[in-house]
Structure 1
Amino acid sequence: MKILFSKKISLKTKLISAILFLVFILIINYFINLKSYFNTFINPVYIFLNKSYFIFNNMIENKNINSNLKKQNKYLFIQLLKNKYEILQLKQLKHDNKELRKLLILPIVNKDNIKTIFAEKLPIYFNFDSDEILINKGSINNIHVGQLVINDLGLVGQVISINKSTSHVRLICSTQSFISVQSIKTNIKFAIKGNGCKYSLMSEILPKNININKGDILVISALYDNLLQGYPVAIVTTSSNTNFKNIRLNYVNVSPLFKISELKYLLLISD
Protein backbone atom coordinates (compact mmCIF):
# COMPACT_ATOMS: atom_id res chain seq x y z
CA MET A 1 0.00 0.00 0.00
CA LYS A 2 1.43 3.39 -1.01
CA ILE A 3 1.75 6.14 1.57
CA LEU A 4 -0.30 9.22 0.73
CA PHE A 5 1.64 12.43 0.04
CA SER A 6 4.86 10.50 -0.12
CA LYS A 7 6.06 12.62 -3.02
CA LYS A 8 8.43 15.39 -1.98
CA ILE A 9 7.65 19.03 -2.82
CA SER A 10 10.03 20.36 -5.41
CA LEU A 11 12.24 23.42 -4.90
CA LYS A 12 10.45 25.22 -7.72
CA THR A 13 7.12 24.77 -5.98
CA LYS A 14 8.58 26.09 -2.69
CA LEU A 15 9.99 29.16 -4.42
CA ILE A 16 6.72 29.96 -6.18
CA SER A 17 4.82 29.53 -2.91
CA ALA A 18 7.20 31.90 -1.11
CA ILE A 19 6.85 34.54 -3.84
CA LEU A 20 3.07 34.30 -3.77
CA PHE A 21 3.10 34.62 0.06
CA LEU A 22 5.26 37.74 -0.11
CA VAL A 23 3.02 39.28 -2.76
CA PHE A 24 0.04 38.51 -0.56
CA ILE A 25 1.70 40.19 2.42
CA LEU A 26 2.60 43.27 0.36
CA ILE A 27 -0.97 43.62 -0.88
CA ILE A 28 -2.37 43.33 2.65
CA ASN A 29 0.26 45.76 4.01
CA TYR A 30 -0.75 48.27 1.33
CA PHE A 31 -4.30 48.38 2.64
CA ILE A 32 -3.85 47.61 6.36
CA ASN A 33 -0.22 48.74 7.29
CA LEU A 34 0.97 45.57 8.98
CA LYS A 35 4.11 47.34 10.23
CA SER A 36 2.24 49.22 12.96
CA TYR A 37 0.59 46.00 14.15
CA PHE A 38 3.96 44.26 14.12
CA ASN A 39 5.58 47.08 16.13
CA THR A 40 2.73 47.01 18.62
CA PHE A 41 3.34 43.32 19.14
CA ILE A 42 7.15 43.38 19.18
CA ASN A 43 7.74 46.54 21.31
CA PRO A 44 6.84 44.95 24.68
CA VAL A 45 9.14 42.05 23.88
CA TYR A 46 11.91 44.46 22.93
CA ILE A 47 11.41 46.53 26.11
CA PHE A 48 11.47 43.39 28.27
CA LEU A 49 14.65 42.11 26.63
CA ASN A 50 16.32 45.53 26.81
CA LYS A 51 15.43 45.98 30.48
CA SER A 52 16.69 42.50 31.32
CA TYR A 53 19.96 43.25 29.56
CA PHE A 54 20.25 46.59 31.39
CA ILE A 55 19.67 44.92 34.78
CA PHE A 56 22.14 42.14 34.03
CA ASN A 57 24.73 44.64 32.79
CA ASN A 58 24.30 46.75 35.95
CA MET A 59 24.74 43.67 38.11
CA ILE A 60 28.02 42.85 36.38
CA GLU A 61 29.25 46.44 36.70
CA ASN A 62 28.26 46.62 40.39
CA LYS A 63 30.02 43.36 41.06
CA ASN A 64 33.19 44.65 39.41
CA ILE A 65 32.94 47.95 41.30
CA ASN A 66 32.41 46.15 44.62
CA SER A 67 35.34 43.87 43.92
CA ASN A 68 37.59 46.84 43.14
CA LEU A 69 36.38 48.72 46.21
CA LYS A 70 37.08 45.72 48.43
CA LYS A 71 40.60 45.47 47.04
CA GLN A 72 41.17 49.19 47.55
CA ASN A 73 39.75 49.07 51.09
CA LYS A 74 41.95 46.11 51.95
CA TYR A 75 45.01 47.89 50.59
CA LEU A 76 44.16 51.12 52.43
CA PHE A 77 43.47 49.20 55.65
CA ILE A 78 46.87 47.51 55.44
CA GLN A 79 48.52 50.87 54.77
CA LEU A 80 46.67 52.37 57.74
CA LEU A 81 47.86 49.56 60.01
CA LYS A 82 51.43 50.06 58.79
CA ASN A 83 51.20 53.80 59.45
CA LYS A 84 49.78 53.22 62.93
CA TYR A 85 52.53 50.72 63.66
CA GLU A 86 55.19 53.18 62.50
CA ILE A 87 53.63 55.93 64.64
CA LEU A 88 53.64 53.62 67.67
CA GLN A 89 57.27 52.73 66.99
CA LEU A 90 58.14 56.42 66.73
CA LYS A 91 56.37 57.17 70.02
CA GLN A 92 58.17 54.25 71.66
CA LEU A 93 61.52 55.50 70.37
CA LYS A 94 60.80 58.98 71.72
CA HIS A 95 59.87 57.50 75.09
CA ASP A 96 62.97 55.28 75.14
CA ASN A 97 65.21 58.22 74.22
CA LYS A 98 63.66 60.25 77.02
CA GLU A 99 64.27 57.46 79.54
CA LEU A 100 67.86 56.94 78.36
CA ARG A 101 68.50 60.67 78.55
CA LYS A 102 67.42 60.62 82.19
CA LEU A 103 70.08 58.00 82.91
CA LEU A 104 72.77 59.81 80.92
CA ILE A 105 72.36 63.05 82.87
CA LEU A 106 72.71 61.36 86.27
CA PRO A 107 75.70 62.85 88.13
CA ILE A 108 76.95 59.38 89.02
CA VAL A 109 77.56 58.58 85.33
CA ASN A 110 80.28 61.24 85.11
CA LYS A 111 82.22 60.15 88.19
CA ASP A 112 85.72 58.91 87.35
CA ASN A 113 85.88 56.24 90.05
CA ILE A 114 82.60 54.59 89.04
CA LYS A 115 81.98 52.30 86.08
CA THR A 116 78.48 52.18 84.64
CA ILE A 117 76.85 49.68 82.30
CA PHE A 118 73.50 50.30 80.63
CA ALA A 119 71.04 47.41 80.65
CA GLU A 120 67.46 46.73 79.67
CA LYS A 121 64.86 44.75 81.54
CA LEU A 122 63.74 41.67 79.62
CA PRO A 123 60.13 40.45 79.70
CA ILE A 124 59.46 37.26 81.66
CA TYR A 125 56.15 35.71 80.63
CA PHE A 126 56.12 33.11 83.39
CA ASN A 127 57.61 35.03 86.28
CA PHE A 128 57.17 32.77 89.29
CA ASP A 129 59.36 35.02 91.43
CA SER A 130 58.03 38.57 91.24
CA ASP A 131 60.86 39.81 93.48
CA GLU A 132 63.37 39.42 90.65
CA ILE A 133 63.82 40.79 87.14
CA LEU A 134 65.93 39.66 84.17
CA ILE A 135 68.28 42.03 82.32
CA ASN A 136 70.02 41.71 78.94
CA LYS A 137 73.59 41.90 80.23
CA GLY A 138 75.73 39.01 81.45
CA SER A 139 79.27 37.77 81.95
CA ILE A 140 80.32 38.84 78.45
CA ASN A 141 79.52 42.41 79.53
CA ASN A 142 81.67 42.14 82.70
CA ILE A 143 78.65 41.88 84.98
CA HIS A 144 79.39 40.37 88.38
CA VAL A 145 77.31 39.14 91.32
CA GLY A 146 76.62 41.83 93.90
CA GLN A 147 76.60 44.69 91.41
CA LEU A 148 74.10 47.41 92.29
CA VAL A 149 71.34 48.34 89.85
CA ILE A 150 69.70 51.77 89.69
CA ASN A 151 67.47 53.86 87.47
CA ASP A 152 66.84 57.60 87.34
CA LEU A 153 64.47 57.40 90.33
CA GLY A 154 66.53 55.42 92.81
CA LEU A 155 68.04 52.11 93.83
CA VAL A 156 66.41 49.14 92.07
CA GLY A 157 68.25 46.08 93.32
CA GLN A 158 71.35 43.92 93.14
CA VAL A 159 72.65 41.29 90.72
CA ILE A 160 72.35 37.83 92.29
CA SER A 161 73.19 35.50 89.38
CA ILE A 162 74.67 35.83 85.92
CA ASN A 163 74.67 33.89 82.67
CA LYS A 164 76.58 34.56 79.50
CA SER A 165 74.21 37.20 78.16
CA THR A 166 71.62 37.74 80.92
CA SER A 167 71.53 38.35 84.66
CA HIS A 168 69.00 38.11 87.47
CA VAL A 169 68.47 41.14 89.67
CA ARG A 170 66.92 40.90 93.12
CA LEU A 171 64.72 43.94 93.76
CA ILE A 172 64.97 45.98 96.96
CA CYS A 173 61.42 44.92 97.86
CA SER A 174 62.46 41.25 98.01
CA THR A 175 62.13 39.49 101.35
CA GLN A 176 65.88 38.83 101.18
CA SER A 177 66.84 42.50 100.86
CA PHE A 178 68.28 44.50 103.76
CA ILE A 179 69.38 48.09 103.14
CA SER A 180 70.96 50.70 105.40
CA VAL A 181 69.32 54.04 104.76
CA GLN A 182 69.11 57.50 106.21
CA SER A 183 66.53 60.26 106.11
CA ILE A 184 67.40 63.31 104.02
CA LYS A 185 65.71 65.64 106.51
CA THR A 186 67.11 64.33 109.79
CA ASN A 187 70.10 62.16 108.73
CA ILE A 188 68.77 59.42 111.03
CA LYS A 189 70.20 56.07 109.95
CA PHE A 190 68.41 52.75 110.20
CA ALA A 191 67.80 49.55 108.20
CA ILE A 192 64.83 48.59 106.07
CA LYS A 193 63.81 45.08 105.03
CA GLY A 194 61.91 43.89 101.99
CA ASN A 195 58.50 42.40 102.63
CA GLY A 196 57.75 41.06 99.15
CA CYS A 197 57.13 43.32 96.17
CA LYS A 198 53.38 43.18 96.71
CA TYR A 199 53.82 44.89 100.07
CA SER A 200 55.69 47.86 101.55
CA LEU A 201 59.20 47.58 102.93
CA MET A 202 59.44 47.73 106.72
CA SER A 203 62.03 49.37 108.91
CA GLU A 204 63.65 47.90 111.97
CA ILE A 205 62.01 48.75 115.29
CA LEU A 206 62.89 52.35 116.12
CA PRO A 207 62.66 54.50 119.28
CA LYS A 208 59.36 56.35 119.68
CA ASN A 209 60.96 59.78 119.68
CA ILE A 210 62.66 59.30 116.30
CA ASN A 211 61.72 62.00 113.82
CA ILE A 212 60.57 60.16 110.69
CA ASN A 213 57.43 61.38 108.91
CA LYS A 214 55.28 60.32 106.00
CA GLY A 215 56.72 61.55 102.69
CA ASP A 216 60.35 61.60 103.86
CA ILE A 217 62.83 60.41 101.22
CA LEU A 218 65.30 57.77 102.33
CA VAL A 219 68.73 57.52 100.69
CA ILE A 220 71.56 55.02 100.82
CA SER A 221 73.60 55.31 104.00
CA ALA A 222 77.39 55.45 103.92
CA LEU A 223 77.33 52.35 106.09
CA TYR A 224 75.85 50.41 103.19
CA ASP A 225 77.81 51.37 100.10
CA ASN A 226 80.08 54.35 99.56
CA LEU A 227 79.59 54.17 95.79
CA LEU A 228 75.97 55.24 95.99
CA GLN A 229 75.99 57.20 99.22
CA GLY A 230 73.04 59.59 99.22
CA TYR A 231 71.28 57.93 96.29
CA PRO A 232 67.46 57.69 96.75
CA VAL A 233 65.99 54.37 97.85
CA ALA A 234 62.40 54.76 99.03
CA ILE A 235 59.74 57.08 100.40
CA VAL A 236 58.05 56.78 103.81
CA THR A 237 54.38 55.86 103.46
CA THR A 238 53.30 55.28 107.09
CA SER A 239 54.88 55.94 110.46
CA SER A 240 54.29 54.22 113.84
CA ASN A 241 51.66 51.72 114.92
CA THR A 242 49.11 51.75 117.75
CA ASN A 243 50.52 48.56 119.29
CA PHE A 244 54.03 49.99 119.34
CA LYS A 245 52.94 53.38 120.72
CA ASN A 246 51.98 51.75 124.00
CA ILE A 247 55.50 50.44 124.51
CA ARG A 248 57.14 53.62 123.18
CA LEU A 249 58.50 51.99 120.03
CA ASN A 250 58.08 52.92 116.41
CA TYR A 251 58.57 51.58 112.88
CA VAL A 252 57.94 52.93 109.38
CA ASN A 253 56.66 51.46 106.14
CA VAL A 254 58.34 52.63 102.96
CA SER A 255 57.75 52.09 99.25
CA PRO A 256 60.30 51.95 96.41
CA LEU A 257 60.49 54.99 94.17
CA PHE A 258 59.95 52.85 91.06
CA LYS A 259 57.15 50.65 89.74
CA ILE A 260 58.16 47.19 88.54
CA SER A 261 55.82 47.39 85.55
CA GLU A 262 57.50 50.62 84.39
CA LEU A 263 61.10 49.43 84.71
CA LYS A 264 62.96 49.21 81.41
CA TYR A 265 66.35 50.92 81.19
CA LEU A 266 68.73 50.41 84.09
CA LEU A 267 72.24 51.32 85.13
CA LEU A 268 74.65 48.87 86.75
CA ILE A 269 77.24 50.40 89.07
CA SER A 270 80.71 49.14 89.97
CA ASP A 271 84.00 50.64 91.08
Structure 2
Amino acid sequence: MNLLFGRNASLQLRLIIAVVLSGLIMLGDRYTSGASTIRTSLNTFVSPLFYFANMPSEFLNWSSKNLDSRELLLAQNTSLKAKQLEQNAKLLEFQFLQNENLKLRALLNSSAKLESKKLVTKILSIHSNTYNQQVVINKGFLDNVVEGLAVVDDLGVVGKVVQVGSSTSRVLLMTDNTHAIPVRVLRNNIQTVVEGNGKLNQVELPHVPHSMDIRVGDILVSSGLGDIFPEGLPVATVTNIERDESKPFSKVYAQPIAQLDRIRLLVLLWSQQTKVNENDE
Protein backbone atom coordinates (compact mmCIF):
# COMPACT_ATOMS: atom_id res chain seq x y z
CA MET A 1 0.00 0.00 0.00
CA ASN A 2 1.33 3.39 -1.02
CA LEU A 3 1.27 6.01 1.71
CA LEU A 4 0.01 9.52 0.95
CA PHE A 5 3.21 11.00 2.33
CA GLY A 6 5.41 8.11 1.47
CA ARG A 7 8.99 8.35 0.45
CA ASN A 8 8.01 8.64 -3.25
CA ALA A 9 5.69 11.67 -2.76
CA SER A 10 7.29 14.96 -3.75
CA LEU A 11 7.58 17.92 -1.42
CA GLN A 12 5.32 19.99 -3.68
CA LEU A 13 2.54 17.39 -3.44
CA ARG A 14 2.85 17.24 0.33
CA LEU A 15 2.58 21.03 0.57
CA ILE A 16 -0.51 21.17 -1.68
CA ILE A 17 -2.30 18.47 0.31
CA ALA A 18 -1.44 20.16 3.63
CA VAL A 19 -2.74 23.53 2.37
CA VAL A 20 -5.98 21.98 1.10
CA LEU A 21 -6.58 20.15 4.37
CA SER A 22 -5.90 23.34 6.35
CA GLY A 23 -8.40 25.24 4.21
CA LEU A 24 -11.06 22.59 4.69
CA ILE A 25 -10.54 22.60 8.46
CA MET A 26 -10.82 26.41 8.62
CA LEU A 27 -14.00 26.37 6.54
CA GLY A 28 -15.48 23.65 8.72
CA ASP A 29 -14.58 25.62 11.86
CA ARG A 30 -16.17 28.76 10.40
CA TYR A 31 -19.47 27.36 9.13
CA THR A 32 -20.16 24.32 11.33
CA SER A 33 -20.79 23.94 15.09
CA GLY A 34 -19.04 20.60 15.44
CA ALA A 35 -15.60 22.16 15.31
CA SER A 36 -16.49 24.57 18.11
CA THR A 37 -17.60 21.64 20.25
CA ILE A 38 -14.33 19.83 19.55
CA ARG A 39 -12.31 22.97 20.35
CA THR A 40 -14.19 23.47 23.60
CA SER A 41 -13.58 19.85 24.59
CA LEU A 42 -9.89 20.17 23.81
CA ASN A 43 -9.64 23.38 25.83
CA THR A 44 -11.35 21.68 28.75
CA PHE A 45 -8.97 18.76 28.46
CA VAL A 46 -5.77 20.83 28.42
CA SER A 47 -6.86 23.53 30.92
CA PRO A 48 -5.39 21.63 33.92
CA LEU A 49 -2.07 21.66 32.11
CA PHE A 50 -2.18 25.46 31.96
CA TYR A 51 -2.83 25.64 35.70
CA PHE A 52 -0.05 23.18 36.36
CA ALA A 53 2.39 25.07 34.15
CA ASN A 54 1.47 28.35 35.87
CA MET A 55 1.91 26.98 39.40
CA PRO A 56 5.65 27.80 39.77
CA SER A 57 5.06 31.41 38.74
CA GLU A 58 2.07 31.75 41.07
CA PHE A 59 4.03 30.18 43.94
CA LEU A 60 6.94 32.57 43.42
CA ASN A 61 4.60 35.56 43.36
CA TRP A 62 2.82 34.35 46.50
CA SER A 63 6.12 33.74 48.30
CA SER A 64 7.46 37.14 47.30
CA LYS A 65 4.34 38.91 48.56
CA ASN A 66 4.40 36.98 51.82
CA LEU A 67 8.09 37.73 52.38
CA ASP A 68 7.56 41.42 51.68
CA SER A 69 4.57 41.52 54.03
CA ARG A 70 6.49 39.63 56.73
CA GLU A 71 9.51 41.94 56.49
CA LEU A 72 7.21 44.97 56.64
CA LEU A 73 5.40 43.59 59.68
CA LEU A 74 8.69 42.76 61.42
CA ALA A 75 10.01 46.26 60.77
CA GLN A 76 6.79 47.83 62.04
CA ASN A 77 6.77 45.53 65.07
CA THR A 78 10.36 46.46 65.95
CA SER A 79 9.60 50.14 65.57
CA LEU A 80 6.49 49.88 67.75
CA LYS A 81 8.37 47.95 70.42
CA ALA A 82 11.10 50.60 70.49
CA LYS A 83 8.50 53.35 70.88
CA GLN A 84 6.73 51.35 73.59
CA LEU A 85 9.99 50.93 75.48
CA GLU A 86 10.66 54.66 75.34
CA GLN A 87 7.17 55.46 76.58
CA ASN A 88 7.33 52.85 79.34
CA ALA A 89 10.74 54.15 80.44
CA LYS A 90 9.25 57.60 80.68
CA LEU A 91 6.35 56.28 82.75
CA LEU A 92 8.75 54.45 85.04
CA GLU A 93 10.45 57.73 85.87
CA PHE A 94 7.30 59.60 86.78
CA GLN A 95 4.42 57.30 87.71
CA PHE A 96 5.47 56.84 91.37
CA LEU A 97 6.61 60.40 92.01
CA GLN A 98 4.25 62.58 90.02
CA ASN A 99 2.25 63.85 92.99
CA GLU A 100 5.34 64.16 95.16
CA ASN A 101 7.20 66.17 92.52
CA LEU A 102 4.27 68.53 92.13
CA LYS A 103 4.28 69.19 95.86
CA LEU A 104 8.05 69.69 95.93
CA ARG A 105 7.98 72.12 92.99
CA ALA A 106 5.23 74.10 94.67
CA LEU A 107 7.17 74.13 97.93
CA LEU A 108 10.50 75.09 96.40
CA ASN A 109 8.98 77.22 93.63
CA SER A 110 11.23 75.46 91.14
CA SER A 111 10.73 74.43 87.57
CA ALA A 112 9.95 70.90 86.49
CA LYS A 113 12.80 68.46 86.19
CA LEU A 114 14.23 68.27 82.69
CA GLU A 115 13.36 65.15 80.79
CA SER A 116 16.26 62.73 80.68
CA LYS A 117 17.75 61.55 77.41
CA LYS A 118 16.87 57.99 76.34
CA LEU A 119 18.21 55.52 73.80
CA VAL A 120 16.75 52.14 72.84
CA THR A 121 19.30 49.35 72.47
CA LYS A 122 19.31 45.63 71.71
CA ILE A 123 21.07 42.78 73.50
CA LEU A 124 23.73 41.03 71.39
CA SER A 125 24.92 38.38 73.88
CA ILE A 126 24.49 37.29 77.48
CA HIS A 127 27.26 36.39 79.94
CA SER A 128 25.56 35.00 83.04
CA ASN A 129 26.96 32.84 85.82
CA THR A 130 27.15 32.96 89.61
CA TYR A 131 30.16 35.30 89.60
CA ASN A 132 29.51 37.46 86.56
CA GLN A 133 26.16 38.60 85.17
CA GLN A 134 26.49 40.90 82.19
CA VAL A 135 24.97 41.47 78.76
CA VAL A 136 26.44 43.07 75.66
CA ILE A 137 24.37 45.71 73.85
CA ASN A 138 24.67 47.17 70.34
CA LYS A 139 25.45 50.77 71.35
CA GLY A 140 28.82 52.33 72.15
CA PHE A 141 30.64 55.64 72.37
CA LEU A 142 29.73 56.33 68.73
CA ASP A 143 26.18 56.64 70.11
CA ASN A 144 27.42 58.86 73.01
CA VAL A 145 27.15 55.98 75.50
CA VAL A 146 29.30 56.43 78.61
CA GLU A 147 30.02 54.30 81.66
CA GLY A 148 27.54 54.57 84.48
CA LEU A 149 24.37 54.98 82.43
CA ALA A 150 21.25 53.47 83.95
CA VAL A 151 19.68 50.63 81.97
CA VAL A 152 15.98 49.70 82.23
CA ASP A 153 13.39 47.71 80.33
CA ASP A 154 9.65 48.28 80.13
CA LEU A 155 9.15 47.02 83.70
CA GLY A 156 12.00 48.30 85.83
CA VAL A 157 15.73 48.61 86.49
CA VAL A 158 18.02 46.16 84.68
CA GLY A 159 21.51 47.41 85.57
CA LYS A 160 24.13 49.94 84.49
CA VAL A 161 26.75 50.35 81.76
CA VAL A 162 30.20 49.35 83.01
CA GLN A 163 32.30 49.14 79.84
CA VAL A 164 31.97 51.03 76.55
CA GLY A 165 33.40 50.16 73.13
CA SER A 166 33.03 51.87 69.78
CA SER A 167 29.77 50.16 68.82
CA THR A 168 29.04 47.84 71.77
CA SER A 169 28.89 48.14 75.54
CA ARG A 170 28.67 45.86 78.55
CA VAL A 171 25.80 46.17 81.02
CA LEU A 172 26.20 44.87 84.58
CA LEU A 173 22.90 43.33 85.68
CA MET A 174 21.45 44.40 89.02
CA THR A 175 21.71 40.79 90.27
CA ASP A 176 25.51 40.71 89.89
CA ASN A 177 27.45 40.35 93.16
CA THR A 178 29.15 43.71 92.64
CA HIS A 179 26.02 45.71 91.84
CA ALA A 180 24.15 47.89 94.34
CA ILE A 181 21.27 50.38 93.98
CA PRO A 182 20.14 52.96 96.56
CA VAL A 183 16.39 52.46 96.97
CA ARG A 184 13.50 53.49 99.15
CA VAL A 185 10.41 51.62 100.25
CA LEU A 186 7.51 53.05 98.29
CA ARG A 187 5.06 52.57 101.16
CA ASN A 188 6.94 54.61 103.77
CA ASN A 189 9.99 56.17 102.00
CA ILE A 190 12.53 54.30 104.18
CA GLN A 191 15.96 54.45 102.52
CA THR A 192 18.01 51.29 102.01
CA VAL A 193 20.17 49.50 99.42
CA VAL A 194 19.54 46.57 97.09
CA GLU A 195 22.52 44.34 96.27
CA GLY A 196 22.89 41.47 93.82
CA ASN A 197 23.73 37.99 95.06
CA GLY A 198 24.48 36.17 91.82
CA LYS A 199 20.94 34.81 91.40
CA LEU A 200 19.07 36.05 88.36
CA ASN A 201 15.70 36.16 90.12
CA GLN A 202 16.77 37.43 93.56
CA VAL A 203 18.47 40.38 95.25
CA GLU A 204 19.19 41.18 98.91
CA LEU A 205 18.87 44.13 101.28
CA PRO A 206 22.01 44.18 103.46
CA HIS A 207 22.22 45.35 107.10
CA VAL A 208 18.48 45.70 107.68
CA PRO A 209 17.75 46.38 111.37
CA HIS A 210 15.08 44.25 113.02
CA SER A 211 13.15 47.42 113.78
CA MET A 212 12.90 48.57 110.15
CA ASP A 213 9.31 48.84 108.94
CA ILE A 214 9.53 46.61 105.88
CA ARG A 215 7.06 43.95 104.81
CA VAL A 216 6.70 41.19 102.24
CA GLY A 217 5.15 42.71 99.13
CA ASP A 218 6.72 46.15 99.61
CA ILE A 219 7.84 47.74 96.35
CA LEU A 220 11.35 49.18 96.24
CA VAL A 221 12.06 52.08 93.89
CA SER A 222 15.28 53.90 93.12
CA SER A 223 15.93 56.77 95.54
CA GLY A 224 17.93 58.91 93.11
CA LEU A 225 21.03 58.85 95.31
CA GLY A 226 24.33 58.15 93.55
CA ASP A 227 23.42 60.13 90.40
CA ILE A 228 23.03 56.99 88.27
CA PHE A 229 19.43 55.82 88.52
CA PRO A 230 16.71 58.49 88.27
CA GLU A 231 14.38 58.64 91.23
CA GLY A 232 11.26 56.48 91.21
CA LEU A 233 12.29 53.59 88.93
CA PRO A 234 10.79 50.24 90.05
CA VAL A 235 13.60 48.00 91.27
CA ALA A 236 12.29 44.98 93.21
CA THR A 237 9.49 43.53 95.33
CA VAL A 238 10.21 42.16 98.82
CA THR A 239 9.54 38.40 98.83
CA ASN A 240 11.00 37.05 102.08
CA ILE A 241 12.10 38.40 105.47
CA GLU A 242 14.05 36.34 108.00
CA ARG A 243 14.23 37.92 111.46
CA ASP A 244 16.54 36.14 113.87
CA GLU A 245 17.00 38.08 117.12
CA SER A 246 20.25 36.25 117.77
CA LYS A 247 21.74 38.01 114.74
CA PRO A 248 22.28 41.76 114.44
CA PHE A 249 20.37 42.18 111.16
CA SER A 250 17.41 40.69 109.39
CA LYS A 251 17.80 38.93 106.07
CA VAL A 252 15.57 40.51 103.47
CA TYR A 253 15.21 39.11 99.97
CA ALA A 254 13.48 40.66 96.99
CA GLN A 255 12.68 39.77 93.39
CA PRO A 256 13.68 42.13 90.55
CA ILE A 257 10.67 43.66 88.85
CA ALA A 258 12.41 43.51 85.47
CA GLN A 259 12.31 40.03 83.94
CA LEU A 260 16.05 39.61 83.57
CA ASP A 261 15.76 36.15 82.03
CA ARG A 262 13.65 37.48 79.14
CA ILE A 263 15.17 40.86 78.31
CA ARG A 264 15.88 41.64 74.64
CA LEU A 265 15.36 45.37 74.14
CA LEU A 266 16.60 47.86 76.72
CA VAL A 267 16.60 51.62 77.27
CA LEU A 268 19.64 53.66 78.30
CA LEU A 269 18.90 56.63 80.58
CA TRP A 270 21.10 59.69 80.88
CA SER A 271 20.76 61.26 84.34
CA GLN A 272 21.01 65.02 84.83
CA GLN A 273 24.46 64.59 86.38
CA THR A 274 25.65 62.56 83.38
CA LYS A 275 24.48 65.24 80.95
CA VAL A 276 26.23 67.92 83.00
CA ASN A 277 29.48 65.98 82.86
CA GLU A 278 29.13 65.52 79.08
CA ASN A 279 28.63 69.27 78.62
CA ASP A 280 31.69 70.01 80.75
CA GLU A 281 33.75 67.77 78.50
TM-score when scaled to structure 1? 0.63
* Secondary structure of 1:89's aligned partner: helix
Is the aligned partner of 1:121 residue 2:107?
A: no
| Structure 2: runs of 5+ lacking an equivalent | 1-41, 98-111, 274-281
On the 8 A contact 2:136/2:171 being kept in 1, the answer is yes
- Rounded to whole Å, the distance in 2 between the matches of 1:223 and 1:115 is 16
Task: Measure, in 1, the Cα distance between the counterparts of 2:237 and 2:142.
Answer: 35
Aligned to 2:161: 159
- In structure 2, C-alpha distance between the alignment counterparts of 1:59 and 1:225, rounded to whole Å: 81
Q: Deviations over 1:41-84 (max 9, x none)?
A: xxxxxxxxxxxxxxx99886544432223432342243234324
Residue 56 (structure 2) pairs with residue 67 (structure 1): no
Residue in structure 2 matched with residue 252 of structure 1 by the alignment: 252
- 1:78 corresponding residue in structure 2: 64
Q: Structure 2: how far apart are the matches of 1:220 and 1:76? A: 52
Counterpart in the other structure of 1:26? none
Q: Secondary structure at the match of 1:228?
A: coil
Distance 1:81 1:245, change over 3 A: farther
One-letter amino acid of the structure 2 residue matched with residue 121 of structure 1: K
- Measure the CA separation in 1 of the matches of 2:85 and 2:269: 15
User: What SS is found at the alignment partner of 1:255?
Assistant: strand
Query: 2:149–2:268: 8 Å Cα contact kept in structure 1?
Result: no
| Structure 1 residue 143 displacement after superposition | 2.8
**Measured at CA, do residues 116 and 247 of structure 1 come closer, stay the same or move farther in structure 2, by a change above 3 Å?**
same
Cα contact 2:127–2:135 (8 A) shared by 1 = no
Q: Which amino acid aligns with 2:127?
A: F
The separation in 2 between residues aligned to 1:226 and 1:160, in whole angstroms, is: 12
Q: Which moved more, 1:217-226 or 1:168-177?
A: 217-226
Structure 1: distance between partners of 2:75 and 2:144: 31
Q: Report the Cα offset of residue 150 of structure 1.
A: 3.4
Q: Which residue of the partner structure matches residue 187 of structure 2?
A: 185
SS of structure 1 residue aligned to 2:178: coil
Number of the residue aligned with 1:96? 82
Secondary structure of the equivalent of 2:72? helix
Q: Structure 2: which amino acid aligns with 1:90? A: Q
Shift of residue 177 of structure 1? 0.8
Residue equivalent to 1:11:
none
Which residue of 2 is the match for residue 268 of structure 1?
269
1:69 is matched by which residue type in structure 2? M
Q: Secondary structure at the match of 2:177?
A: coil
> Contact 2:88–2:155 (CA<8 Å) still a contact in 1?
no
Secondary structure (helix, strand or coil) at the match of 1:204 reads strand
Percent of aligned pairs with the same amino acid: 25
Change (3 A) 1:111 1:227: farther
Match of 2:177?
Answer: 175
Task: Find the aligned partners of 2:87 and 2:224 in 1 and give their Cα distance.
Answer: 27
3-state secondary structure, aligned to 2:237? strand
Do the aligned partners of residues 78 and 229 (structure 1) sit closer, same or farther apart at CA in structure 2, a change above 3 Å counting?
closer
Using the alignment, how far apart are the partners of 2:222 and 2:270 within structure 1? 14
Deviation at 1:197, TM superposition (A): 4.5
1:148 aligns with 2:150: yes
For 1:269, give the aligned amino acid: W
Q: 1:121 to 1:197 in 2, by over 3 A?
A: farther
Matched with 2:33 is: none
Shift in Å at residue 162 of structure 1?
0.9
The number of aligned residues is: 212
Letter in 1 for 2:89: L
Q: TM-score, normalised by structure 2?
A: 0.61
Distance change in 2, residues 1:80/1:164 (3 Å):
closer
